[in-house]
Structure 1
Amino acid sequence: MKMERRLKALSLASMLGMFLILVMGALVTKTESGRGCGDDWPLCNGKFVPAYTIESLIEYSHRFVVGVVGIILLATMILVFLYSKRKDAKWYVGGAMFFTLLQAVLGAMAVVWPQSSAILALHFGFSLMSFAFTLLLYLVFTRFGDAMYKGDGTRLTRGVRFSIWAVLVYSYVVVYLGAFVRHTEAMGGCIGWPLCNGQVIPEMTGPTSIAFIHRVGAAILGLALLTLFLFVRGQARSDSGIYRSVRLSLILVFLQILSGGFVTLAIGYDIYLLASLLHAVLVSCLFGILCYSAIASRHTRG
């Protein structure tokens, strides 16, 4: 029992740490601090403690947090493999470690060798996967763990279960498009919201096409989750974990869409950075909840 409490505490620390890494990574991108440490890694401008500049402070703080969270996650993984009997916990902590190392390597490569926007956009996606795995790991040691492992008696049709996984995969594509928008600095391609440059369908060239495709992708995701919720509501009990998670996903996706509009309208104002970070926070929560829904759906066979 004592060890289970330790595992729960460490998994919670890992999850919160990964969430912080996500937010700090978005901050690095939005403040254009990725080159704050020059071409050096793991040192910053050739020093262990870099000279104080805003860019170097943001970038080096991000690196430091990644290192600390990596150590916490390593300790969590060791204890999970030694003391936990849950196979799913071992898969989740292993997945979290894999994507944490992958994003660290990709981040180092981005510093030493210039990368394309398409590759840089993967960095946020890998961080998001790390967060999702640590979220699932933490939930294993809460009352939601049994629902993921054994189910709660809910019965869903094969089509609905497939749809949950399809929406999860599609949401990752939309997230990648959003990260690609950030790294190509295409957010300004669509001025105004909900219209793009005052048009329902703008001229599809350059940054405008990138920003507009992301908007359309987000709208489709919202409609897909609304449809999914209606099907789940017709098959699952209102007190079941799968129903509550899909309902929460629906709420989060519409908040995410509204926050995207907030980001667009905030361009050129001091509040733009805050709006962008809010956007990143909401999409992280949305993806994490969708992952829980997908895992829980495996034990809802009709």
Structure 2
Amino acid sequence: MKNKFSLFTVLMTIVALIIGNLVVATNSGDACGSDWPKCNGTFFPNITNGQILVEYSHRIFTTLLGFVILLNAIFAWFQLRKKKTKWLAVLSFFLLGLQSIVGGLNVLLGTPVGFTFFDVTVSLLLLISVIDLHYALVNQDGVAAIKQGKSSFFKSANFILLFIMLETLIGAIFKHPRFSKLLYGNYTGEVLINSRVLAQFLYFVHGFLGLALVLTTAYLMFLAFKTNQYRFRLSLLVAALVITTFFGFLTNALQLSPAASSFHMIFTIISISIAASISARERLRV
């Protein structure tokens, strides 16, 4: 039961990130104003408005998620037997609190330009922490550990996760401070730093890292089939990264299409989740 609840927590966190991505993609962050937990002064806003529906759904879901993560951290603290894994429960609780503060400031300040970058960063770290907590419980029961000690994938798994996070955060810096909009001459709105050269540089680095990541993961998949480890997960990861890269280029080709941008981020979240599961399984072997 304990592992099922921790897995449920992971899935809820992924869904929350996807809904949060829709908030950004549809520019719904200000749809409820600076009221919280109310939306535009009421608990029953006009959900026939698409932006209000997206934003208020996100607020309700993340509130429920907060209670789930809190319960998961408490349950895990008492269930984990090793001190070196108990700290993961504390970490998820700390990141939950930090996420609440960042999210609250984002609402109260009226979603200032670039601030959502911090929201995305903490959210992704929170996702990785609940995945780690899940595998700390699973490995403790001897379900996931194939053998004692670290496998040949230990360093590679951690490297891939770090690589994906770096590529994602550079993409977030490119998107959330609105550098991405500077690539198109018709944008005259607010931007954190009005530099088209910087925007082009960030886009190039983000795209280059994305392609390099696909190739690196494909090589790891070759090793996986050779060593009979993580074949299915790495196959899923390669597929997710290829789709992510495709929607990334499509987003640019369609001049920041909300639909293409949403799919790009959704598959990025899926990629991070898969990479984090491999990394956690390796790092938290009993």
Q: Deviations over 1:52-82 (max 9, x none)?
A: 4433332222111111111122222222222
The corresponding residue for 1:196 is: none
Q: Does 1:45 align with 2:45?
A: no
The corresponding residue for 2:258 is: 273
CA-CA distance at 1:168 after TM superposition = 2.6
CA-CA distance at 1:216 after TM superposition = 2.9
The corresponding residue for 2:125 is: 129
Q: Deviations over 1:4-36 (max 9, x none)?
A: x2x123222211211121111111111211111
Counting only pairs closer than 5 Å after superposition, residues 61-76 of structure 1 correspond to structure 2 as: 61-76=57-72
Change (3 A) 1:83 1:153: closer
SS at match of 1:48: coil
Q: Distance in 2 between matches of 1:290 and 1:73?
A: 21
Q: Distance in 2 between matches of 1:256 and 1:212?
A: 20
Change (3 A) 1:87 1:281: farther
Moved more, 104-113 or 76-85: 76-85
Residue 59 of structure 1 aligns to which amino acid in structure 2?
E
SS at match of 1:257: helix
CA-CA distance at 1:142 after TM superposition = 5.3
Moved more, 84-93 or 212-221: 84-93
Q: Distance in 1 between matches of 2:242 and 2:87?
A: 31
Q: Does 1:222 align with 2:211?
A: yes
CA-CA distance at 1:153 after TM superposition = 6.9
For residue 103 of structure 1, the aligned residue among 99, 111, 135 is 99
Counting only pairs closer than 5 Å after superposition, residues 62-211 of structure 1 correspond to structure 2 as: 62-85=58-81, 90-114=86-110, 116-140=112-136, 146=142, 151=147, 155-156=151-152, 161-162=154-155, 164-190=157-183, 206-207=195-196, 209-210=198-199
User: 8 Å contact 2:171–2:202 — kept in the other structure?
Assistant: no
Identity %: 21
Residue 252 of structure 1 aligns to which amino acid in structure 2?
A
Residue 203 of structure 2 aligns to which amino acid in structure 1?
H
The corresponding residue for 1:287 is: 272
CA-CA distance at 1:219 after TM superposition = 2.4
User: 8 Å contact 2:33–2:40 — kept in the other structure?
Assistant: yes
Q: Distance in 2 between matches of 1:244 and 1:87?
A: 32
TM-score, normalised with respect to structure 2: 0.78
TM-score, normalised with respect to structure 1: 0.74
CA-CA distance at 1:172 after TM superposition = 1.8
Residue 244 of structure 2 aligns to which amino acid in structure 1?
Q
Count of matched residue pairs: 275
Q: Distance in 1 between matches of 2:235 and 2:149?
A: 18
SS at match of 1:47: coil
Counting only pairs closer than 5 Å after superposition, residues 209-248 of structure 1 correspond to structure 2 as: 209-210=198-199, 212-224=201-213, 226-227=215-216, 230=219, 233-234=222-223, 237-241=226-230, 244-248=232-236
Moved more, 70-79 or 110-119: 110-119
Change (3 A) 1:219 1:78: same
Change (3 A) 1:142 1:296: closer
Q: Distance in 1 between matches of 2:202 and 2:33?
A: 33
User: 8 Å contact 2:21–2:266 — kept in the other structure?
Assistant: no
User: 8 Å contact 2:32–2:56 — kept in the other structure?
Assistant: yes
Change (3 A) 1:215 1:149: farther
CA-CA distance at 1:255 after TM superposition = 2.1
The corresponding residue for 2:29 is: 34
The corresponding residue for 2:250 is: 262
Residue 168 of structure 2 aligns to which amino acid in structure 1?
V
Residue 163 of structure 2 aligns to which amino acid in structure 1?
Y
Q: Distance in 2 between matches of 1:88 and 1:245?
A: 26
Structure 1: any 5+ residue segments left out of the alignment? 192-204
User: 8 Å contact 1:263–1:276 — kept in the other structure?
Assistant: yes
Residue 278 of structure 2 aligns to which amino acid in structure 1?
S
Structure 2: any 5+ residue segments left out of the alignment? 185-193
The corresponding residue for 2:188 is: none
SS at match of 2:33: coil
Q: Deviations over 1:230-274 (max 9, x none)?
A: 367458853223x65445433332221112122223447xxx333
